Structure 1
Amino acid sequence: MVGSDSTLEFWFGLVSTLLGILLYVSLWYLLRLKSFSAGPQTLRQAVWILIASTIAIHSLHLADTLGLGLAFVHTSLFQIATYLCIALTLLCIGLLLLLGIRKADHPAQRLLFGGIGISCLLFVPLSAVEYLLATARSFSYQPLSLEYVVNLLINITILLAAVKVLEKQSGSASAFGQLSEQTAQRFSLTQREQEMATLIAQGLTNKEIAFKLGISEATVRTHIYNLFQKVGAQSRIELLNLLHD
């Protein structure tokens, strides 16, 4: 029984640590996207440093869980440092995202900024509640950890934002149609680039576009690259949203 309890504790610890690392790697990836580039430069630089530090701390916990015997990770000082680093990281990320809401044009983007930002800011008060529950004898059993709750809130936000994008994109082929003359002039698009945008809205792949137009796939990639650069998009969904708005 003791052996099975220790095995269960090992796997829970391993999965929890890996989820923690994945969470911060995901936040790092999101924040480096062009659409998430709002906020003061100083705050952004602080976020990069804090995310790197938090990932490093989680990696130390992972190494200890895997049996490297890093005794210092169990000391009170290191645990306090871990909490403070995570709290400061999520606080700065939350502020950065909430400050960027006013620069977000798309509803899904505003939902991402607001939802993930609030989820990050909730970490500090939620962690205080978790600590109080952990110290109270009547609440010694905790089926849901704070990390799980934060991960859940962020994933729900991402899911809702994806649904918003897909709702708008579902009728993109018919709603998008041909580019308006004003949109084409605003982005200085050539006739071929306008044609590319229309075919992208129809859901065609690069290979299918090349076959339809009778040109090489490399030429299609060049036209689409130029189209993305002019519009300032990093994905097909973002391209359609920017051209459609």
Structure 2
Amino acid sequence: MSRYQTLDYAERDGVAWVTLDRPEVHNAFDGRMMREIHECWRMLRENDDVRAVVLTGAGDKAFCTGIDRTAAGVGEGGPSEVGRRGSTPLHLDDPGDLLPPKTAGQLWKPVIAAVNGMACGGAFYLLGEVEFIIAAEHATFFDPHTTFGMAAVFEPMLMLQRMPLGEVMRMTLMGNAERLSAQRAHQIGLVQEVVPAAELHEAAHRVAAAIAAQPPLAVQTSVRAVWYAQELGHRQALDVAKTLVQLGTDQESLAEGQRRFASGRRDEWRLR
């Protein structure tokens, strides 16, 4: 029996598959799912059998559509599992406290998103902190906050890390009136590969397994370095890099890499 009620979890070839499993509400998250996602990220930090993660949604209609507005209290704007705690706005339980793999989980194993349909609103808490995105051809991306009278705040801030300013602004301000296609998302760099829906799982597993086959210390240090470069000033990042190079150099893995190079054996590669 799965340890989770709202997620499906499986491991194969050093890769963990985390599937948002509430297809009846387009994999929208309620309080339980938020807590289980957070628990899953934290668990994965300690699971040395897993070297890469694929995050996807159940079914073929949606990856995730953000907060479940049908959950108790959400649709009416009242108190709920997702939202403010207490009588003042100073104590806010925001999904950003539990969902993003880096911010909430401090997880530096690479996470790849396989987007299998609609991704909107609160889905960007997750997509904003994955390493890269592979999308099915029918996937769409949009942010409906303003249409429903809500300010879009955390989501566009997260997506500004991986989309041009004008694209973030347009998606934020257009609300429900417009959606980004998988092809357009690929053009602007939000998505790194677009595949037919029937090939999405195979494509995601192929790259995740290739990453998982590499020395984990080198991979995880590289992930951390790139995020530091994204978040810090240029000179600050270069200063941190000196420490990361030393921390991320495992002598055994380095020696194996040198033996591999000297042998003349080269991996088969695929042109993307």
Q: Determine if the TM-score, normalized by the shorter chain, exceeds 0.5.
A: no
Name the structure with the higher helix share.
1
Name the structure with the higher strand share.
2
TM-score, scaled to structure 1: 0.26
**Structure with max Cα Rg:** 1
Higher RCO, 1 or 2 (CA under 8 Å, sep at least 6)? 2
